[in-house]
Amino acid sequence: MPADLVINPNFWLESTRVGREAVRVTSHAPVKGRGLQYFVTDRKENPEMFRWITDIERSLRGEGEINLEAIPESHRQILFTLGILVTKEELPKPVRFSCFLDEKVLPGGPNLKDPIVNPTFFYQAGDRPPESIQHQVAIGERFLSGYPLVWVQNPGNQVWVSYWVKEDQRKLLSSLRPGEKPPASPESVDPQLRSALETAEILVLRDFPDRSRKTWESFFTEARAQFQAKSYVKLPDLIPPLWLSALRRYYRDIIAEGYAQNGDPQVALRRVKHHEDIACFLHPQFAYLVSRIAGRPLRFTHDYFYSYERGAVLDKHVDVDHDEFGISLLIDYDPEPPGVTPWPLFLENRQGPIEIAQRIGDAVFYNGCELPHYRHALPEGHRSTSLLFHFVPQNFKGRIG
């Protein structure tokens, strides 16, 4: 055990209570280089460790001080193993998600003629989204604070996204009004910012809402027919390009700073995070889209962030009934391929295996209870990162566990 240990300021507790009394705590501790550490401590079974863990947590909240030297060495060893005490080199940096309008410089751009402001546009100056959309989006703790946000929705798939506004962009962005022409002519705006505003669909053509709805209605018709016949369908453009770039950066930081668990019972060679904040932001918003494809109302259940390491194998399996339908969204791959990645997802029906080749940003919606699915060994030196979203019918009566 290293000599100079400090309290991990990023560890947190979840408590199980009987009345007002905590009888069990689960510690979550991100550790740089070791990943996210979990541990359950029962008050009756291990009262001393329970006391030290809860005292340390209270000290982080400013409710008292704790002398680490007073902790017995055997207990300090356990607290080090749990990531509650760490070396300074293991201290993880806080990771926050943001998508600024200059997230990624895209060549060219739509260069729209006579654009208007997206009719769904909202400017958020404070800490909360506009009241009219608060029931549709949930900002988690990992959203970067301290900046205004602008919100836009795709009218066809009904997904909202936000963009962070820098100081030199505030005057322009705060002056925009939904459905109106921008007060400054697009030609007078910095070309890079103008390209970003158009790529982000903040500035759009006047027929954009109708065109988007018609495009997605046509897709829903075709996708529903394929899903009914084959129990799977590929999904286009779930994530806007600037957001996809931001997600790739964000999840690389999540891994590097130790906020994902190393391995799970199903696959040892992957990093895992259940109900991660940004996944939770996206998950409920996909319910409309998958319901239209499935032809019946679906509700969201579990979501996961997975990053597979070289040699990882996903064994053939079917999903449990409380995760009947799934979206597998590929958000990153290293080394970045020029086209499809060399690690396909396989689905299997009565005719045999179906190879689903994915580019970064591609998603597939499938019935995981009907179709066995798997992946072969990930090539040496490669990493593949996906978000997995599960759904069940609205009238599902089983236990979501």
Q: Tell me how far apart the alpha carbons of residues 351 and 232 are, in angstroms, rounded to a whole number.
A: 14
pLDDT of residue 109: 61
Per CATH, the homologous superfamily of domain 211-393 is q2cbj1_9rhob like domain (2.60.120.620)
Does residue 298 carry a pLDDT above 90?
yes
Choose among 364, 270, 358, 371: nearest CA to 313: 270
Sign for the pseudo-dihedral over CA of 28, 253, 149, 158: negative
pLDDT of residue 329: 98
pLDDT of residue 79: 97
pLDDT of residue 102: 86
pLDDT of residue 141: 85
The DSSP bridge partners found for residue 262 are 271
Does residue 204 carry a pLDDT above 90?
yes
pLDDT of residue 191: 86
Q: Which two tokens stand for residue 353?
A: 């295996």
Amino acid identity for residue 21 in this structure? E
pLDDT in tens, 351-376: 899 999 999 999 999 999 999 999 99
- Mean pLDDT (the chain) is 94
Locate CATH 2.60.120.620 in the chain: 211-393
For the chain, the farthest-separated pair of C-alpha atoms sits apart, in whole angstroms, at 71
- DSSP annotation string for 27-40: EEEEETTTEEEEEE
Find the range with the poorest average confidence among 29-43, 93-107, 244-258: 93-107
Q: Tell me how far apart the alpha carbons of residues 155 and 252 are, in angstroms, rounded to a whole number.
A: 30
Look-up: residue for tokens 């597979």? Answer: 308
State the helix-helix crossing angle for 208-230 and 287-294, rounded to 10 degrees.
Answer: 50
pLDDT of residue 39: 94
Look-up: residue for tokens 């895209």? Answer: 106
Q: Tell me how far apart the alpha carbons of residues 268 and 330 are, in angstroms, rounded to a whole number.
A: 19
Does residue 293 carry a pLDDT above 90?
yes
pLDDT in tens, 137-159: 888 889 999 999 999 999 999 99
pLDDT of residue 11: 94
Look-up: residue for tokens 């999903």? Answer: 319
pLDDT in tens, 216-270: 999 999 999 999 999 999 998 899 999 999 999 999 999 999 999 999 999 999 9
